[in-house]
Structures are given as C-alpha cells and as structure tokens.
Structure 1
Amino acid sequence: MTEPHFHGQAGVRIAGTGLGLPEGRLTNADLEKIMDTSDEWIVQRTGIRERRKADPDHESQVSMATKALDAALSDAGMKGSDLDLVINGTCTSDSTVPSGACRIAANVGATPAGAFDLVAACSSFVYALNVADTMVRSGRAKSVGVIGCEFLTRMMDYNDRRVSILFGDGAGAAVVTADEDTRRGCLWQMTEGDGRDWEKLYRPMDESQIPEWDKENPIRLGCVRMSGQDIYRFAVTKFGEVIASGLEATALNSEDISQFICHQSNVRILQKAMERNEIPEEKLRINIDRYGNTSAASVPIILHELRSEGKLAAGDLAMFVAFGAGLTWAANVWRV
C-alpha cells in the first residue's frame, strides 16, 4: 500500500494506556443462584464465564474512569495538566449535568482542558478515538485523554437471564498525543450509525419510551432491553462489512494487520468475524470470558492488554472495530 502523508499536520501516537477495573466479580455460578441458568448455557451462547461488578456504595463510573485515565497518564509519563481534552465514552454516566468527563478531568488535574461525554454505547471508545485523532492531527489539540468506561450491572434486571448475563463493569483509557511522524495515527476511519433500529437495544426510563411491540416485556424500567437475535444478526453482518471496508480502503489484507482490536460482545460473533475475514486467532484477542460485555470499555481493555504484553510495537498496524446500540458502529486502521 502507498501510505498517506499528512503534510503540514501532526502524526498521532498512543502514548499510554490504563485500566480501572472493579475488584468484584460476578461468575456464572453466582448467577445460577439467582436465576434459571447454568454455566454451560451461558458459556455455550456467549463465551462468558465471569464479569467484573462494581460496588455501587464505593465505586462509580467516574471513579473507574478516573483510575483508568490516571494509569494511562502514568504510562505515558504525563500529568493531567498536559491534556487539552478529555473524552468520556460511556452510556452509563453517573450524571448528565455535569458530564462525567468534567469530573474526571478535575480528578486527574486536567483543568482547564475541554471535557465531554460521548454516548455511542459499545462504539463510544472507537468513536472517541476517531475524534481524538482528528483533533490532534488538525492541530486543535496536542494531547487527548480518551476513556471507555461503563457501570452496566446497575442497569440490569437479574430476574431476566436474556440480557443480564452479558454485561460487566470496567474502564480503559488511552492518552493520544501529537507525533512528528505524520504516518502514525489513523490511516482510515469510519464513524457511523442508523437510528431506525434504536428499539432493538435500549434502556427505557419511563413508560412513554417503550414501543408498543415491547409493552409486555417483564424487564424493569431503567434496565437494558435487547432483541437478541436482531442484534446478533446486525453485529455479525456489520462486523464483517466494516473490516472488509477498512482493508479495501487502505489496500491492506488481514496479514498486514498486527492486531484486530474488537468490541467483545459475544464469542460467536468474534469467531464468525475471524472466519469471514481469514483472521488467525493470535491476531484477534478474545477476553470476554473474563470480563463479559463491558460496552465502551471492552476495546480499551484489549488495547491495554496487548500493549502491556508487547504485542503492539511502534509502527505496527492495528484495526479497531466496535458496534452497539443506536445502532452505531465505528472502526479505524491505526499505525501505532
């Protein structure tokens, strides 16, 4: 491939990553005690064995996100005051007024950096990473803190096994900075959505937000509802399409990509993506068995694991892929 050079613009580097994981765990054995399910049933359908569970009395979306961003700053050898912008990718913010991002920025000493929440469900971190790359490459910001963090277990109805078995809590963050090498950063990106199917995965807060066809759903108000088969079909189709689009747009093939860093929604979806795009197992990390679906946090958790293990070196090509409620999807090809 002939790589683009962005003359007069900065390259973009992932300078550091970090995690903010709760100590609490919710295993399949724990779920067996409170609902009609089994470890075998859950593993067969999702690949999940346990998920992290935050303590609502002592932890919050803001506290997990702060921990992750603090760790990413430390990894980058930077201080909060070095940041020009903080983006908090989440659909489970503790409040909308003020945004979680403003509180997180204050916690890490990033004032007066700009700060906002980005709500694109499971796609939020990749959406935010695309925004950060554009801001830094254009010169509008030099350093950006990008977070994916969710406190999903407080939005589950554990009387219903269809949805509640899937989700866990956690946070991951990356610090993105300008780099003299203009070849680094996004070579291609996609940030898209289609709101016509919003009701396939949503969280109603009152009766007026429930579509007529879902009025008899027993899941409590304030808890996540999902049309599982519809979302599964969307994810399998869109996953393959997005990967193929990224490879075609950059004139690459799967052998050129060091790592596919993908949202962890269901092990069967990930396996189908590998099969369809001829991706070997060592190039697409799966950790859903240990964390469950952490929505916006799943991609940065994978990113941190790969960097910590030395599996993403400077100059390597990576593809980030995510999809989620909205419906939304996002991807990029990144030279790290």
Structure 2
Amino acid sequence: MQQTTLGVSLVGCGSAPLSVALSNEDLSQMVDTSDEWIATRTGIRQRHIATAQDSLSSLAAQAGSAALEMSGLTAEAVDLIILATSTPDDLFGSAAQVQAQLGANRAAAFDLTAACSGFVFALVTAAQYLRMGVYQTVLVVGADVLSRWTDWSDRRTCVLFGDGAGAVVLQASDRDRLLGFEMRSDGSMNGCLTLPYQAESSVLVDDKMTQAGTFAPIDMNGKEVYRFAVKRVPEIVEKALYRANLTTQDVDWLLLHQANQRILDAVASRLDIPAERVISNMSRHGNTSAASIPIALDEAVRAGQIKPGDVVASSGFGAGLSWGAAIFEWG
C-alpha cells in the first residue's frame, strides 16, 4: 500500500493551573537576594511550584485535557501521546500514567527527554507520525517539576526555575501548518547545564561493586548558557525560516523558551523582530523547562493575541546542550 504524505495542524492547546506562587519577596526570605535583583537580571517576578498533592503526570494530564477540550476532541481520539519532560514521576517514564489519567485508551505513549528543548523536539517528532499517515491525532505535552531538583540555598539557580505543564493537539491535515524546523545538539557543552547523577560505590559481594546514588540539584554556568543562547537561537530560527521559505518579516509572533528576559530581548533584536511581537510570560512563571513554550502559547491563544492563521516562530534551548526551532501556523 502506498503511503500518502499528509500535513499537520495544531488544533488545540492547554495548560495546568498551579495554585502556589513563590514570589521574589518569598525567595528573599530564603537566600540573599531581592525582587529588584531578580527582576532586573531575569524578568521574573514569581514562579509556581507543585504541591505535595501534585505529580508530574497529574499536571501533564490536566494540560492535555484542556488542550483536547479546546480542540473539540475526546481522549479516545488520541493515537499517540509524547510527554516532553526531564522530571518524570518514574524514571521508566510517566507518559503512560498520563495516558491512563486522560482515559486515552487507544493511545501509545512515551517520554522524550531534551530538557528546555523538549517541547520543540516532541512537536517535530509528532509531526513525522502524522505526515506519514501512521497516526491521525497526537497529543504533545511539555511538563516539568523543576522544584524537585532545585537547590533552594543556591541563589544563582533557585530564582530561575518553576513548575508547569502545557500541551498541544496535532492532527493530520491536507494542509501542512508546520512550515519548517531545525534541531541541533552539542554534547561537548553538556557541563554548562546539568542535573547529574551522583554515584557512590556499593559492595555486592567479594570485590564486585555496583552504583548507588541519586541525582544532584540543577547546576548551571549562567554566563555560558546566555552566550550560547543569544548566538545559536537566532541562527536556528533563521534556518527554520529558510526551510519554510519565509523571513522574519513573515513572522507574527516570536515564541521562545522562557529562560531569561534578557535572552528573549537579545534574540529578538538580532532577528530584528520588534518587542510587541515577542510573547513573554516570564514575570509570572519563570523557567519551566519543556513546559514554557506550550504554557506561553496557551495563554497567548486564550488571550486573543495569537489568532488562527498567525505564523509563530518558536525555539527551545537548554541542557544537552540542545536547541531547536519550529515555524508553524496556528489553527
């Protein structure tokens, strides 16, 4: 049987509400910092944190449910769930838990780990299944609970990160609205941003040893990550635009991973995209890793900023180091 190449449409988005907000003033009671210091350097005023009752899978399922509701589809219509996360409830994967909580009984489900690039990488991965006609409907979720792995005594990093989940529903379409993409990785720079496993030797029997340990908190070389982002992100957005046969003049909205307002401003300046066309929810959410792009997308769509037919240039970048861009038309 001959396969037919199809297109991709983004038909719904959603995010999970988190009830607990941790303000800069709250952090100033924990470490030597201030609201002014954090806001002027990062653009962040608060971040949300998961409660003891929240799990990564429950937040992801809430986001997925909201996206399905917007799309007008039921969970039973979903063929595949891709969960982009670096903080699963279970190291064997949490996507199947999301599938069960949604009641998406027909869907296969798997985790994809690419840190802050995870949502873009998952979006591109999902599109390939749809374009080849393997599946008709795919739910892509970006979710992270970084508070689990934040050193709350380290003022360099604890001011940056928050928890969250966002999702989009993709469907096969006779018109392809994923207009272009590009993905890159550079493992030689891995040490700039890590959440490393720290092993300790443990004796099994005689001279036979094994590892026993846990993951250390997030560690980041902020200056190197900033340099990496402001150089590589404009490049990869331009490459994705080239693949889409578009220029920055065709872009209605620039939607970047919400890492730092200074990075957003610098990338927009290098791409010659005016500030009023840059989506930012940095002040309210901080850096939510794989969740940041779909949360910002959901808020912008529901607020009426991003409208059907708008061209969005999105880019994720971070640990790995990895970075990617996807150009898509909403709706």
TM-score, length basis structure 1: 0.90
Asked whether the equivalents of residues 57 and 88 of structure 2 are also in contact (C-alpha less than 8 Å), the reply is yes
CA-based RMSD: 1.7
In structure 2, the partner of 1:213 is none
Contact 1:133 1:185 in 2 (8 A): no
CA distance in 2, matches of 1:251, 1:129: 20
1:335 is the counterpart of 2:325: no
Deviations 1:139-186 (A, max 9, x none): 111000000001011211111100111000010001111123x2x322
User: Aligned pair 1:205/2:197, yes or no?
Assistant: yes
Aligned: 1:10 with 2:2: no
Corresponding residue for residue 207 of structure 2 = none
Alignment gaps of 5+ in structure 1:
1-6, 209-219
- Match of residue 279 from structure 1: 273
Identity %: 39
1:38 lines up with 2:38 in the alignment = no
* Residue 106 of structure 1 pairs with residue 80 of structure 2: no
SS at match of 2:47: strand
Residues 112-191 of structure 1 aligned to structure 2 (within 5 Å) = 112-180=106-174, 182=175, 184-191=176-183
**Whole-Å separation in 1 of the counterparts to 2:152 and 2:163:** 15
Alignment match, 1:89: 84
Q: Check conservation: 2:117, 2:322, Cα contact below 8 A.
A: yes
Deviation at 1:221, TM superposition (A): 5.5
Q: Indicate the structure with greater strand content.
A: 2
Give the letter for the 1:25 counterpart: A
Q: Does 1:309 align with 2:303?
A: yes
Task: Please point out which of 68, 73, 80 is paired with 1:78.
Answer: 73
Determine if contact 2:86/2:114 at 8 Å carries over to the other structure.
yes
The separation in 1 between residues aligned to 2:131 and 2:311, in whole angstroms, is 18
Distance 1:126 1:63 in 2: 21
* SS of corresponding position for 1:163: coil
Stretches (4+) displaced over 4 A: none
Between 26-35 and 245-254, report the one with greater CA deviation. 245-254
Instruction: Number of aligned residue pairs: give it.
Output: 316
What secondary structure sits across from 1:92 in the alignment? coil
What is residue 252 of structure 2 aligned with on the other side? 258
In structure 2, stretches of 5+ residues that fail to align are 201-213
Q: Could you tell me which residue of structure 2 aligns to residue 270 of structure 1? A: 264
Q: Which amino acid aligns with 2:313?
A: M
Assess if the C-alpha contact under 8 Å between 2:9 and 2:178 holds in 1.
no
Contact 2:255–2:280 at 8 Å: present in 1 too? Answer: no
Counterpart residue type for residue 49 of structure 2:
K
Give, in angstroms, the shift of residue 104 of structure 1: 0.1
TM-score normalised over the length of structure 2: 0.92
What residue identity is the alignment partner of 1:75? M
The amino acid of 1:36's aligned partner reads D
Matched-pair contact (CA < 8 Å) for 1:21–1:169: no
Q: Which of 39, 44, 49 is matched with 1:48 structurally?
A: 44
Does the CA-based 8 Å contact 1:264-1:299 persist in structure 2? yes
Contact kept? 2:180, 2:241, Cα under 8 Å: no
Number of the residue aligned with 1:215: none
